[in-house]
Amino acid sequence: MSLLSFAAALVGFGVLAPVLGCLLSGADRIVSARMQGRVGPPLLQPLHDVRKLLAKDVRPVNSFQGFYVLLALLFSLLAGAFFFAGGSLLLVVFVLTLSTLFFVVAAYSTRSPFAEIGAEREIIQVASYEPMVILFAVSFFIATGSFDVSVALAREVPVIAQLPLVFCALLFILTIKLRKSPFDLSYSHHAHQELVKGITTEMSGRTLALVEVMHWYENVLFLGWVALFVVWSSWIAVPVALAAVLAVYFFEVLIDNNFARVKWQSMFKWSWAVTLVLCLANILVLSFL
């Protein structure tokens, strides 16, 4: 990864990811509404919501709260830039984890009992999916011989041919990363699920707008992880990856609308059981090939 490619990825991801993330969020609301027998809001409703939040005054409980959220947004932007520049997958994971930690600190800084409970649930979610994310990077290294994302584009066959079980494990924890039911414990984007918004309870105005934009960045990055499994050196990989990404996102929306929220104990147990079994089994098979 050269400095020039990183700069190009930083600008490209910084500009395009919010646009794609906004459209995905709008499509999510429309598809969810149709599944529930409603018409739903317009496609650009998430953009209107963010514009409305940006126009509001900020009344923070702690003056550093907005600063912590801004850092979380910047690190999610950096993680996406490293990924789409073809950099180290392990570095992407660490930078994204740092973004989450700043988000948690922002909630803790308010000293609100509701926000603190949301922050604690966020930490539990991190503890649930982080082992899988590390194993994802390790498995990618074993399959390709490198942590660099760019290696996948030079292969003659997609990575999923060697890591099918790891891909299934990623789909499982993707529900947590995308904040979908049944694993949306720290906060939900749906008003009918949560009136007190968990980790974002004390966030408002521009701060809450930054949280929404950060969520758009993260969604595009996570779907990039899905595309990483199905790309290879041929031009046909582009439409295949696009179809796979859209199918996975629709699948996550379908799960979100058909499962009720579970307790954190169930999420923690299922995440570790499913991901460890699938990833370790896949790594074991690779070691004998």
Question: What is the pLDDT at residue 189?
Answer: 64
Question: What is the pLDDT at residue 190?
Answer: 60
Question: What is the pLDDT at residue 148?
Answer: 93
8 Å CB contact between 121 and 199 = yes
pLDDT in tens, 60-79: 777 788 899 999 999 999 99
Question: What is the pLDDT at residue 56?
Answer: 85
160 lies in which domain range?
3-287
Give the residues of the chain that fall short of pLDDT 50: 192, 195
Of 162, 166, 127, nearest to 275 by C-alpha is 166
What token pair was written down for 283? Answer: 């790594």
Question: What is the pLDDT at residue 129?
Answer: 93
For the chain, the domain total comes to 1
8 Å CB contact between 205 and 160 = no
Question: What is the pLDDT at residue 1?
Answer: 66
Of 36, 98, 42, nearest to 73 by C-alpha is 98
pTM value > 0.85: yes
Question: What is the pLDDT at residue 31?
Answer: 93
